[in-house]
Structures are given as C-alpha cells and as structure tokens.
Amino acid sequence: MNLLEFQGKELLSSYGIKIPRSYLAYKVEDAIAGAKKIGYPIVLKSQLQVGGRGKAGAILKCKTEEELIQKFQELLTKEVNGELPKCLLVEEMADIKKEFYLSFFLNRGKRCYSVIASAEGGVEIENVENKVIIDIQNEGITPELVSEITDKIELKGNERKEFSEFIIKLSKLILEKEAELAEINPLALVGNGAFVALDAKIILDDNALFRHEDLKKYEQLSPLETQAKENGFSFVELNGDIAIIGNGAGLVMSTLDMVTDAGGKAGAFLDFGGRATTESIYQALKVISKVRKIKAILVNLYGGIVRTDLVAQAILNAYNDNTIQVPVFARITGTNSDRAREMLKESKAKLYNTVEQAINSAVNY
C-alpha cells in the first residue's frame, strides 16, 4: 500500500520526526484557511501515489491568496501519470540550509532491509553518485552503522547528532510498521539546525496489515477493489475493453501480454487464485460486470485440477441472472470439458482449446 504524502508524514510525526506545518485541503476554502494560519508564501502539493510530482508541475509555490485560488483549481484537475488528486496539502515554506536524502527499503536482491543516505537531496537518488548504501539486520540499525552513515556523509557536532536520531527513528518506523519503503527526499537541514522531512514516500506491506489496526485507515480501495478483496481476488482496473480473468497471477499477466500483442486492450486483470469453484468464478464475473466499458470477457483457466463443468455452471448462472451480458471467450482445458461445452451451447460463451484462439476471438469481436 502506497501512502499519500500527508499520510506518510502523519506516520513520521508519530515517531517524533519533524515535518513542516501543513493543512490538508479538499476544498479551496480549506486551503485558504490553512494558508492564512501559516502565512504566505506557502507550497501547494498535489496528493498523489505516483512518483514524479515535482517534475510534472504538481507542486507549486503560492505567494498570495489569488495565486492560491487559481493554482488550487489547476492542481485539483491536473492528472499526473493517469492519477487525479482527491486533496492537496498546504505547507509552510521551509528555511532550507541544505538538502539530504535518507531511505530505508526492502532490498529484494540481498534479502534484507537496506538504508541509503546522501548529502545530496532533492534529486532522484538513482542519479546521485555520492551516496552510502548499508544493509541492516532484521532487528534494526546498530549504533555502529549509524556512525558509519554520518561519517560517510561528513556530518559533525549537533548536525551529526540530529541526523543520527533521524536515522534511528526511521529505522524503528520501517520495522515496527512493516514498510517496504520509507523514503525522505528531501530531508532538509533548516535554519534552526533541525532536520525536517519535506516529503515522505512510504509503502506498507499489505500482507502485514492484519496485525496493524492503526494502519488500516490508510487503505484506500475503490468499491470494486473492496469487493474483489473480500472475495480473495487480485484485481487491477485497466483502461481497455477486454476483461481478463484466470487462476494464477502469472497466467493472467501472461494473458494480458498476449491480448496486448494481438492488438487488444485489457480493461481488467482479475486473478481468482488457486481454487476454481462455481461460486468463486461467479463472484469474479460479478466484479467484472461492474467495470466500465467492458465488451468481452476472456477467461483463461489452467486446468488439470479444474472441473470445467463447474466453471461452465458459473458462466451460465451469471448469464441467467443477467449479471453479465457481454460474450465470454474461455480457454478451459480440464476434466469434463465435453459436458461444459454442451452446457454453454445456447449461451453467449464460447469455449476454446487454446488461449491463442480465445484471445483472437475476443480481440476481433
């Protein structure tokens, strides 16, 4: 789960990490009220999950109320990489002396948590050569490693002490809250000698949410995503008109690739997982039926252990109670496939032996 900036900062603040004074605004009146309390100039920041806000012009400085009103509307309707913000953050301008970078992340290759720190913040860390990367233990960072980091980025005196504390707090956060990433960029040294998190990118481990009641409030699922989740499906809404459902994430991804190669556009990705029952497939069709502008449903089932007549029954049920009206193109191999064929003979569903045949028919429909 990808937290929005204001959510991430709330979490940082609960660990005693300093953040700039800010107000969240859904409406322009809230923004004006917030800015009045802070005093101009302020920064207006679009709250988006996608990266690259700065480059896309979704972070703007406002010197006056007029400017704020105009830019508020501009940002609220500005899409960045296909995402529209629901709210904006009105934030005080920090008195920046120097910008740093700090992140803790799940290092998949090395299979541990790692920390990256740099005295060059405010730019993408991939483009920074002067940085230190250190692997840490599952129990958290040790004082020795904290010293190693502050040595390498050449901090002394009070700045070193403050930065060290910052590292320890963030290390605690990532392990206690089970985040996959906690990135502070820029991490600013401000006029009074404090280190302040000017931005926050935090990704939480969805699979650990069951033991973090306090983090569940950050989950922002659409009604369809909620419905899919309740059924145990993996579901991603896409922009095209062919819904793809199947049993297995890899298989559905592979089908998505093949649909795209054949010139089709996928409108939904749905993996209903290991067990195919009449009820689970019916529920999957129910989720799909609510996705906008779907013209065809492509079912790719790896058989072997699937009783295809149960799948056919699910499709038939979904047609019979009008859950779905669009045609289903299904590649189903497995036991009882003759019976499945017979059952669906009168319906708008067509069965195929190969996925290529099913895809071609769906794309050309």
Partner 1 sequence: MNNKFDLFDILIGNKKDIDFNHKPVIIQGITGSFGSTHTKLMKEYGTNIVAGVTPGKGGMSFEGIPVYNTVSDAVKETKAKISGIFVPAPFFLNAAKEAIDSGIKLLVAIPEHVPVLDSLKVLEYAKKNNARMIGPNTPGVIIPETIKVGIMPAKPFSSGSTVVFSRSGTLMYEVSHVLTQAGYGQRLCLGIGGDPINGTNLLEVFDLIREREDIDSVVVVGEIGGDAEEKLSEYIISSQFDKPVVAYVAGRAAPKEKKMGHAGAIVYGNYGSAESKILNYSKADVPVAKRPIEVPDLLKIKLKK
Q: Point out which span in 47-55, 217-225, 283-291, 319-327 binds partner 1 (CB under 8 A).
A: 47-55
Q: Does 269 engage in binding with partner 1 (CB under 8 A)?
A: yes
Q: Point out which span in 59-67, 88-96, 258-266, 286-294 binds partner 1 (CB under 8 A).
A: 258-266
Q: Point out which span in 26-34, 185-193, 255-263, 343-351 binds partner 1 (CB under 8 A).
A: 255-263
Of 32, 56, 93, 253, the one binding partner 1 (CB under 8 A) is 253
Q: Tokens 């045949």 — which residue? A: 357
Greatest alpha-carbon span in the chain: 81
Q: Does 40 engage in binding with partner 1 (CB under 8 A)?
A: no
Q: Closest Cα to residue 172, out of 15, 13, 5, 4?
A: 15
Active site residue 101: yes
Residue 38 or 238 with smaller CB distance to partner 1: 238
Find the distance separating the first CA and the last CA of the chain, reported in whole Å.
36
CA atoms within 13 A on the CB side of 103: 26
Q: Shortest Cβ distance from residue 205 to partner 1 (Å)?
A: 5
Cα(36)–Cα(156) distance, rounded to whole angstroms?
37
Q: Does 249 engage in binding with partner 1 (CB under 8 A)?
A: yes
Residue 151 or 176 with smaller CB distance to partner 1: 176
Cα(177)–Cα(81) distance, rounded to whole angstroms?
28
Length of the chain: 365
Do residues 276 and 330 touch, judged by C-beta distance below 8 A? no
Of 104, 113, 282, 352, the one binding partner 1 (CB under 8 A) is 113
Q: Does 236 engage in binding with partner 1 (CB under 8 A)?
A: yes
Active-site residue identified among 183, 218, 319, 352 = 183
Q: What secondary structure letter does DSSP report for 337?
A: H
β-bridge partners, 96: 190
Do residues 235 and 269 touch, judged by C-beta distance below 8 A? yes
Active-site residue identified among 101, 113, 282, 352 = 101
Do residues 349 and 297 touch, judged by C-beta distance below 8 A? no
Of 207, 213, 217, 320, the one binding partner 1 (CB under 8 A) is 207
Residue 206 or 230 with smaller CB distance to partner 1: 206
Q: Closest Cα to residue 97, out of 38, 177, 155, 23?
A: 155
Q: Does 260 engage in binding with partner 1 (CB under 8 A)?
A: yes
Cα(322)–Cα(62) distance, rounded to whole angstroms?
53
Active site residue 29: no
Q: Does 261 engage in binding with partner 1 (CB under 8 A)?
A: yes
The site for partner 1, by CB under 8 A, has a size of 49
How would you label 320-347 residue by residue, b for 16+ Cβ within 10 Å and e otherwise?
eeebbebbbbbbbbbebbeebbebbeee
Q: Point out which span in 28-36, 54-62, 140-148, 250-258 binds partner 1 (CB under 8 A).
A: 250-258
Per-residue binding string, partner 1, 155-184, x by CB under 8 A, is --------------------x--x-x----
Q: Does 49 engage in binding with partner 1 (CB under 8 A)?
A: yes
Element (H, E) at 145: helix 143-152
How would you label 154-171 residue by residue, b for 16+ Cβ within 10 Å and e otherwise?
ebeeebbebbbebbbebb
Q: Is 176 helix (H, G, I), strand (E, B) or coil?
A: helix
Per-residue binding string, partner 1, 210-229, x by CB under 8 A, is xx------------------
Q: Does 234 engage in binding with partner 1 (CB under 8 A)?
A: yes
Q: Shortest Cβ distance from residue 111 to partner 1 (Å)?
A: 6
Beta-carbon neighbour count of residue 64 at 10 Å? Answer: 11
Q: Does 256 engage in binding with partner 1 (CB under 8 A)?
A: yes
Which residues contact partner 1 (rule: CB under 8 A)?
Answer: 2, 49-51, 81, 106, 108-109, 111-113, 126, 138, 175, 178, 180, 205-208, 210-211, 234, 236, 238, 246-254, 256-261, 266, 269, 271, 273-274, 302, 304-305, 356
Residues annotated as catalytic (active site), given as ranges: 101, 183
